[in-house]
Homo-oligomer: A and B are copies of this chain.
């Protein structure tokens, strides 16, 4: 085990050896194994956006085995997906890629101003599928947030007791926030803090903008002159909001069909700001496999070298 991984595991002093073992598996896997950085392949878009919108651009991706292979071939740290996708491939090459089972999901067939998600799998499902972690989405700012936090609390307690790690997708959203507020720097930092206080080991957020949503927060950002002008600044602030960097925060890679150079530039900013890695869904599996592997390789290359 590298000193960096040892150091990072030391941040989780409340966890049992089972959970630490699974965190270590995740941190030691793939091309970034041992560096403390993570690139995760998430494929929940079939549920979240529908199959055609997710896979028609690259039809082999309709097949659940495709994503296991992509994550393995791409040198990813882990593969995260809903129940059905993991059930459909977990037996084929057991242990070849750390798995994260998403325990809740939503679709686009109803349109709620205060979104919520359905529980779609449970901790015991993650155990029987050989996963290293469970994943859970919360929507801070939705009127359903208290219920989601309580669900996460119960899942997190059970997962930790049973030796699994907990990955939280923290997406501010709902009638309490403006559209710009969903990626505002104060809200993003808040979202990371909430997930960390709820006991997440790893937190996934969107890249923040320089917008500040909450008036009470704006005063503080001004008064304390918190640097948020550049993307690395903002990544650094978000990481600080995660217990002064003692929780692992990873970032999503922008919209699909994004310009590749722009995406890699974002990754460089995440790395420069001290982010722990990227989660790349649509920008990997929605393109032909060769191009996806190239993209994953380029992203991993950035994280594999010390930040500039």
Residues on A facing B (Cβ under 8 Å): 11-15, 46-47, 49-53, 56-57, 59-60, 62-64, 82-92, 105-112, 116-122, 124-125, 128-129, 140-143, 145-147, 149-150, 153-154, 157, 172, 174-177, 186-187, 189-190, 192-194, 196-200, 214, 216-217, 220-221, 223-224, 226, 237, 240-241, 243-244, 246-247
Contact = CB atoms under 8 A, between A and B. Distances in A.
A110 to B, nearest CB: 4
Given A157-B124, A198-B120, A91 B14 contact: yes
Contact of A53 (B12, B49, B217, B247): B217
A247 to B, nearest CB: 8
Q: How many copies does the complex hold?
A: 5
Nearest to A106: B146
Contact of A122 (B82, B149, B157, B186): B157
Contacts of A221: 52, 56
Contacts of A199: 83-84, 87, 121
Contacts of A119: 149-150, 153
Contacts of A56: 220-221, 224, 226
A145 B105 CA distance: 11
Contacts of A157: 121-122, 124-125
A51 B193 contact: yes
Given A52-B186, A52-B224, A110-B143, 16 more contacts: A13-B90, A14-B87, A14-B128, A15-B87, A50-B189, A51-B192, A51-B240, A52-B189, A57-B223, A62-B244, A63-B243, A83-B197, A107-B190, A109-B190, A110-B176, A118-B150
